[in-house]
Structure 1
Amino acid sequence: MANHPPSHYPDIGQLGEDLVTQWLQSTGWLILHRRFSCRWGEIDIIAQYQGEQVEEQGAGEPGCRGAGVQGSIALSTQHSTLAFVEVKTRSPGNWDAGGRSAITLQKQTKLWRTAEIFLAKYPDKADYPCRFDVAIVSCQQISALPTQITSAQNTLFSSSVAGYEFHLQEYIPAAFDCLID
């Protein structure tokens, strides 16, 4: 078997991020940036979820004719939410619990500082509620998959790309607190 150069192999991390991006878009998120980087680090995905418009039934002004419209509808818009998403793509038998152990306090600090740079660069987003999410993706080379079909009922989203099978195993919203100085 020939040893191929590293450029021959697909970027598994990017393919895992592609899967998470597709899933986020399918659930209503708008992708603002992929691999946003600055001197502090990199954020894999920055996504925005638009707040939904909520219709509230107005009762009008009781006892006042012409002053209010009985049964009018007022629209109130909730603010958008920003998610800074760290994607961990791992193969079976990995050493760090599917990537969960790689989200150290030091990594959280880097993500927090990178998010601050993003918000400084895009001040129109600075007042949005923000959170840090973690996506756990498993991947396995298709030729290495067992011939027996296994259940993927715990998978949120799946795809096959470049000879690999990818599964979004877990999506953790607000995975860590933002209490870092």
Structure 2
Amino acid sequence: MSGMCNDASDAVDELAAIGSLFDDPMLSSRELGELGERYAAAWLVSRGWRVLDRNWRSRYGEIDIVAVCPERRLAFIEVKTRRTMRHGLPQEAVTAAKQANLRRAGVQWLVDPAHRIAHTGVRFDVFTVMVRDGRPDGHLIKGAF
């Protein structure tokens, strides 16, 4: 959870700082994905969300971000970052099998006693980051599945 900010004004500054890093053509796919997740977390916080967990692992896989939106809904967020559309839209990479594993992982996160938090409901979102001309373009798809 390092590098996480939970203050909206800090997040705006972090968004700008992270955004400038996408211009590096030498980023590996893994580094690009990690940068996309950092960007998504800062984007959410800048809009009043509270990030509870990042890269939480269970036997069903990893949940990129667990956060609470301003309306107190708990969201499990899968982040997909792309440089090109060669393999389709980023959200198309969240297959039915991936969705099923994310649902199972979400249940595991919820039943952990350390994760007791007041919320008004649960949903699964996808956050896409398209890098265009070296700049990130983030988009949140609420209730994606």
Q: Give me the TM-score of the superposition, normalised by structure 1.
A: 0.59
Taking the aligned partners of 1:165 and 1:119, their CA distance within structure 2 comes to: 35
Deviant stretches of 4+, over 4 Å: none
1:39-118 matched pairs, under 5 angstroms:
39-51=59-71, 80-97=72-89, 99-118=90-109
> Is there any run of 5+ residues in structure 1 with no aligned partner, and where?
1-7, 52-79, 146-163, 177-181
Q: Which has the higher contact order (CA 8 A, sep 6+)?
A: 2
Deviations for 1:131-173, whole angstroms, at most 9, x for unmatched residues?
0001110125xxxx4xxxxxxxxxxxxxxxxxx42221x2110
| Amino acid corresponding to residue 106 of structure 2 in structure 1 | A
Describe the SS at the equivalent of 2:130.
strand
Identity among equivalent pairs (%): 36
Q: Give me the TM-score of the superposition, normalised by structure 2.
A: 0.72
Of the candidates 159, 165, 168, which is equivalent to residue 135 of structure 2? 165
Structure whose alpha-carbon radius of gyration is higher:
1
Counterpart contact for 1:132–1:174, Cα < 8 Å: yes
Of the candidates 105, 117, 122, which is equivalent to residue 125 of structure 1? 117
> Is there any run of 5+ residues in structure 2 with no aligned partner, and where?
1-25
Counterpart contact for 2:60–2:101, Cα < 8 Å: yes
Q: Relative to total residues, which structure has the larger strand share, 1 or 2?
A: 1
Deviations for 1:35-83, whole angstroms, at most 9, x for unmatched residues?
11111001110001254xxxxxxxxxxxxxxxxxxxxxxxxxxxx2101
Describe the SS at the equivalent of 1:125.
coil
* RMSD value, Cα: 2.0
Taking the aligned partners of 2:76 and 2:85, their CA distance within structure 1 comes to: 27
